[in-house]
Amino acid sequence: TLQTDLGMLGLVFDGALILQRKSAPETTEEVRNEWAPWTIGLNFQWNENLFTMLDFHHNPMGAKNPGNYVSNSSSTIYSEFPVSLLGRDYLLPNLSYQFSPLLSFSSSAFFNLNDSSFLNTSGL
């Protein structure tokens, strides 16, 4: 993970190199054996109460085409590596506001850019 700040603006980059184990079942089709998922993010502290984040996550193990989610999820990498994302590209915005030391609001979303699905969680 690399991170830096420029005043109230923060930049984050996180990545990994995943190598598929040689013990994976052999197959006749050409199968990738390495992946490099990564996330880049931007954080901004607007004032002492309001904080926002925007991350972009790239999952090269995921499928670009939503019609391939099921078949792709049965691939060897999904059985050997704990990946729960079936798509390839995601946008993750987050907003937090602290009303007082004991009361805050937070809302996060998880947008799949390949099929336009999303998940939102909010709390007070």
Mean residue pLDDT across the chain = 87
**pLDDT for res 26:** 53
Domain spans of the chain, in order of start: 2-123
pLDDT tens per residue across span 51-67: 999 999 999 888 888 88
**pLDDT for res 74:** 79
Residue 45 banded pLDDT, cuts 50, 70, 90: very high
Residue 34 banded pLDDT, cuts 50, 70, 90: confident
The pTM of the full predicted model, rounded to 2 decimals, is 0.81
Q: 106 pLDDT exceeds 90?
A: yes
Cα separation, 4 vs 89, in Å, equals 24
Alpha helices in the chain (DSSP H): 69-73, 76-80
Measure Cα distances from 1 to 17, 85, 91, 108 in Å. 12, 20, 18, 21
Q: Beta strands of 2-124 (E only): which ranges?
A: 2-6, 9-15, 18-19, 34-35, 38-45, 50-58, 89-100, 103-112, 118-123
How is residue 118 written in tokens?
Answer: 């999303």
Distance of CA 30 to the CA centre of its chain: 26
Compute the average pLDDT of residues 73-90.
Answer: 80
**pLDDT for res 120:** 97
